[in-house]
Amino acid sequence: MISGEIWTQLSSAITGLMLAWVMFERYFPYQLRVYLEKYSQKLTSLVNPYIQITFHEFTGERFKRSEAFSTIRSYLSSNSSKNAKRLKADVVNKSQSLVLSMDDYEEVTDVFNGVKVWWASSKKAPKTQAISFYPAAEESRFYKLTFHKSHREIVTEKYIEHVLKEGKAIAVKNRQRCLYTNNPSENWYGWKSTKWGHVVFEHPATFDSLAMETKKKEAIKKDLIKFSKGKDYYAKIGKAWKRGYLLYGPPGTGKSTMIAAMANFLDYDVYDLELTTVKDNSELRKLLIETTGKSIIVIEDIDCSLDLTGQRKKKEKDDKDDEADKEKDPISKKKKEAEEESKSSSKVTLSGLLNFIDGIWSACGGERIIVFTTNYVDKLDPALIRRGRMDKHIELSYCCFEAFKVLAKNYLELESHELFGKIEELLGETKMSPADVAENLMPNSDEEDEETCLKCLIEALEASKEEARKKSVEEAMLKAKKIEKENGEASSKDVVQEKGEISADEVKENGVTSSEEVKENGVITEG
């Protein structure tokens, strides 16, 4: 025990030292202080048997956060929660667990193979307080590892490797998965600003709740497992540890839902890359460097994101009907708006994007999946989606009976029902997206039971079937008009009847187009 007298002497000595330091800081010019510090360190190193290694929070480029620093923090969290006196607390994993790490200016000891080492945490104040256009720089933290020089080999060769390995394992266990999106480059400045903003990833989708054929689902899961366990395999074949998926299909067929299911299945983060806000290829590369491993990088609606193919520069359509049709179509409208927006701001090119996917830079980090989604797979440049870049092409299509059964189980907790037969028949005859099927299966009120929901779906399927029939007649008529215009051979009546879908009377009945109207247009003659 330290007696009261010694305590008093000790505290006055500390006060004296602190005063001396304040005087030193205040009255000695900066250059002189640096000079004195440098030589005093040289002098002490001559007699000091201890070696120090510093791990800074920011390294190299000052905007890049050091991975070693955060890994060491994770490693020390388990040690310091037992030994340090001042701790910092963080809540992780959806507020379910508390992680303690040592506070600034704390010190803990660690023993490895009988060797004792000391870890100290500290921070550096920003160098300048000058008024700046950019947000103020904040302190940068660092850890200092101290050990006796006789243990240099074991510490540098084995202990540090052990710390990084353990730290990574602890970080994976504690980590909160995130959904990132790229910040516009105007907001990239400043000491601690990041290129990616993030929120906690909490999408509930899983492969179990995903409506698609079981065989297809199992194949995708198998592929994902093979990839996530393939570190050595990729190293052996000399390929970067990454895999590209192209998800294509009509709207509402589950492309975005599948991405969420993939992330939940593999326990990966998601980087949702909004290409239209990326100004050029160099910005794209910088964003790539900032992504971490164990992540899925997503570019949704790739066909709308940029004018990548050069083919999409709209040719003036001479067919006015076609153009009007496109205006009505919500996908075309969405695509047109995105194209307009991207043309004005982004200069990312196809080659820039190809480099992003499989250039030399794409190998940094490892264990990354890149997913593109599109409604129009045929419109993409073949270079972009060739195997090797997009290794797996997955079509998400309209709802089949097998997919419906998954939805019925999810939404109504039904494995079977007498109405299933009718639904199976209708699903074979008409196209409806899983999103629409799901919508019909959701009860509108508490009074609605399973049967009401299934009947509601049957009604919707019948309506969709009828609509499709009318549309096909309409299309047939338009086609006939075109053929007649081109060579004057076939009449629209011939074409429609040839298709065996509808009689001339039915055409009239359905109000698709009356024979008078057709006559007026000079397309067919009566009789």
Contacts to Mg ion by CB under 5 A: 255-256
Nearer to ligand ATP, 438 or 461 (CB): 438
Shortest Cβ distance from residue 204 to ligand ATP (Å)? 10
Nearer to ligand ATP, 210 or 369 (CB): 210
Q: Which of Mg ion, ligand ATP, none interacts with 400 (beta carbon under 5 to 8 A by kind)?
A: none
CA distance 103 to 84: 8
Q: Which of Mg ion, ligand ATP, none interacts with 493 (beta carbon under 5 to 8 A by kind)?
A: none
Q: Which of Mg ion, ligand ATP, none interacts with 210 (beta carbon under 5 to 8 A by kind)?
A: ligand ATP
Closest Cα partner for 454 from 514, 404, 488, 388?
404
DSSP bridge partners of 245? 371, 392
Closest Cα partner for 272 from 302, 303, 312?
302
Q: Which of Mg ion, ligand ATP, none interacts with 211 (beta carbon under 5 to 8 A by kind)?
A: ligand ATP
Shortest Cβ distance from residue 428 to ligand ATP (Å)? 18
CA distance 290 to 356: 12
Q: Which of Mg ion, ligand ATP, none interacts with 346 (beta carbon under 5 to 8 A by kind)?
A: none
The H or E element that residue 141 is part of is strand 140-148
Tokens coding 500: 């065996």
Question: Which residue's C-beta sits nearest to ligand ATP?
Answer: 254
Shortest Cβ distance from residue 161 to ligand ATP (Å)? 43
Q: Which of ligand ATP, Mg ion, none interacts with 492 (beta carbon under 5 to 8 A by kind)?
A: none
Nearer to ligand ATP, 126 or 251 (CB): 251
For the beta carbon of residue 434, count every other beta carbon within 10 angstroms: 24
CA distance 255 to 258: 5
Burial class (CB in 10 A: 0-12, 13-18, 19+), 277: middle
Shortest Cβ distance from residue 371 to Mg ion (Å)? 11
Q: Which of ligand ATP, Mg ion, none interacts with 384 (beta carbon under 5 to 8 A by kind)?
A: none
Q: Phi and psi at residue 98, in whole multiples of 5°?
A: -110, 130
- Which sign does the torsion angle of CA 422, 426, 428, 433 carry? negative
Alpha carbons within 13 A on the beta-carbon side of 222:
6
Q: Which of Mg ion, ligand ATP, none interacts with 352 (beta carbon under 5 to 8 A by kind)?
A: none
Q: What is the DSSP letter of 157?
A: I
Shortest Cβ distance from residue 405 to ligand ATP (Å)? 11
Nearer to Mg ion, 252 or 365 (CB): 252
Nearer to ligand ATP, 281 or 397 (CB): 397
CA dihedral 461, 464, 470, 472 (to 10 degrees): -100
Query: Amino acid identity of 465?
Result: K
Nearer to ligand ATP, 140 or 256 (CB): 256
The H or E element that residue 109 is part of is strand 107-112
Nearer to Mg ion, 224 or 396 (CB): 396
Residue length of the chain: 527
Shortest Cβ distance from residue 435 to ligand ATP (Å)? 3
Shortest Cβ distance from residue 255 to Mg ion (Å)? 5
Nearer to ligand ATP, 244 or 434 (CB): 434
Residues at the contact surface with ligand ATP, assessed by CB under 6 A: 210-212, 251-257, 375, 396, 434-435, 438
